[in-house]
């Protein structure tokens, strides 16, 4: 541990939001992962100072949200993990525009929009992620994507400058944005929605919640859809047709309910999960000639 670095961190964001050797299994929906050297939960206004301090001391900095699309290695993460979560989750509404800080949960933003009779966010109401993560990967479900509603994002550059990016500048595509390649950090997003019937909005959200409960293994830890959709195929169907429904490595398993999900039955390690992912990729490639690219972000040391 760099004691001086850590003391400066505490001065910036407070001792109650700074942690050493923090178990990442507590911060991912997979429920696995070793310790991060440093773990902080800054307010939106403190993120630039944290990034600057990391640059000064040569400490790698990784930003996460709700941990819903992450697989962290059993040996953890060297450097600092910055969680833009509940301390950076303010939501405001101005007419048809919803402004949400990066740590705001998609479910909370969708509920807020519905309370103001604003439609367009329903598709994201059940996605267990944050606005920041959703913009980074252009999250989508049930025919909707963030690119349909994002008007602008405020990001922090690797030099510590705040800049605004339009939807076009974000270059949003299937599970893609310019954010990772430019090493930006999403601080806030503006969503342009439409006025709608509040009853119909609530009804649609309830219907999508029902579909998720019926079709997805929500009773187990997972990172959502494990693989991206290959062009012309469905990942879950390929995995099922390869005879891998229920396939296990330790306590990691291909869900029997939805083959596109890899689940933690309770005691899986990150090594179990990564081995299962590789086995699935190899067998699908061998049988169908299709490479399954992971949608989940794989981080840290295994």
Active-site residue set: 175, 225, 295
Longest dimension (CA), the chain: 56
The conformation of residue 227, written as its DSSP 8-state character, comes to B
Q: Which of 37, 141, 131 is nearest to 86 (CA)?
A: 131
Structure tokens at 11: 């001065």
> What kind and span of H or E run contains 100?
strand 97-101
Give the dihedral sign, CA 264/265/267/271: negative
Please spell the DSSP secondary structure of 146-159, one letter per residue: GGGTEEEEEEE-TT
- Report CA dihedral (292, 293, 296, 299) to the nearest 10 degrees: 120
Q: Are 12 and 57 in contact (CB under 8 A)?
A: no
Strand order in the sheet with 91-94: 91-94, 97-101, 185-192, 150-156, 162-166
* Residue linked to tokens 């950076």: 88
């Amino acid at each position: 541990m760099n004691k001086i670095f850590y003391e400066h961190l505490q001065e910036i964001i407070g001792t109650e939001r700074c942690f050493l050797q923090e178990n990442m299994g507590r911060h991912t929906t997979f429920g696995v992962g070793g310790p991060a050297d440093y773990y902080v939960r800054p307010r939106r206004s403190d993120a630039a100072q944290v990034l600057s301090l990391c640059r000064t001391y040569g400490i790698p900095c990784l930003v996460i949200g709700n941990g819903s699309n992450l697989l962290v290695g059993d040996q953890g993460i060297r450097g600092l993990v910055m969680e833009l979560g509940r301390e950076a989750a303010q939501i405001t509404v101005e007419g048809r525009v919803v402004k949400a800080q990066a740590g705001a949960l998609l479910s909370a933003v969708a509920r807020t929009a519905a309370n103001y009779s604003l439609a367009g966010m329903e598709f994201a109401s059940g996605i267990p992620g944050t606005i920041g993560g959703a913009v980074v990967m252009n999250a989508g479900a049930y025919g909707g994507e963030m690119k349909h509603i994002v008007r602008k994002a405020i990001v922090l550059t690797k030099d510590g400058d705040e800049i605004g990016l339009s939807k076009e500048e974000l270059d949003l595509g299937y599970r893609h944005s310019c954010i990772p390649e430019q090493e930006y950090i999403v601080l806030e997003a503006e969503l342009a929605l439409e006025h709608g019937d509040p009853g119909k909005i609530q009804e649609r959200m309830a219907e999508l919640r029902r579909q998720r409960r019926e079709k997805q293994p929500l009773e187990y830890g997972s990172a959502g859809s494990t693989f991206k959709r290959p062009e012309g195929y469905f990942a879950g169907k390929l995995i099922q047709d390869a005879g891998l429904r229920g396939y296990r490595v330790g306590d990691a398993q291909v869900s029997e309910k939805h083959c596109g999900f890899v689940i933690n039955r309770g005691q899986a390690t990150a090594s179990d999960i990564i081995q299962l992912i590789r086995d699935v990729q190899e067998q699908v490639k061998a049988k169908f000639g299709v490479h399954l690219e992971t949608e989940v972000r794989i981080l840290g040391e295994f």
